[in-house]
Amino acid sequence: MQENVSLGPYTSLGIGGPTRYFTEARSENTVLDAIEFSRSRKLPLFVLGGGSNLLISDSGFRGLVLRVAIPGISIDEAGDCATVSAGAGVRWDLVVDNCVERSLAGIECLSGIPGWVGGTPVGNVGAYGQEVSAVISRVRAFDRHTGDIIDMSNRQCRFAYRSSLFNTTAQNRYVVLKVEYALERGGHASVKYPDLERLFQGRSPTLAEVRDAVRKIRRGKAMLLIEGDADCRSAGSFFRNPVVSEETFSSIASIAVSGGGPGAEWTPPRFPASSGKVKVPAAWLIERAGFSKGYSRGNVGLSEKHALALVNRGGATAADVLMFAGEIQEGVEARFGVRLVAEPAFVGFSDSVRDRFGPAGPNGA
Residue numbers annotated as active site = 162, 237, 343
d(CA 140, CA 164): 14
Candidates 88, 277, 78, 56; CA nearest to 175 is 88
d(CA 167, CA 321): 22
Candidates 48, 93, 107, 15; CA nearest to 362 is 48
Asked if 236 and 52 count as a contact pair (C-beta separation under 8 A), the reply is yes
Asked if 175 and 150 count as a contact pair (C-beta separation under 8 A), the reply is no
Reduce the DSSP state of residue 115 to 3 states and report it.
coil
Residue 46 amino acid letter: F
Rg (CA), the chain: 20
* Residue 104, CA distances (Å) to 17, 182, 185, 262 in order: 41, 9, 5, 44
Non-local (6+) Cβ contacts of 275 within 8 A are none
Asked if 3 and 18 count as a contact pair (C-beta separation under 8 A), the reply is no
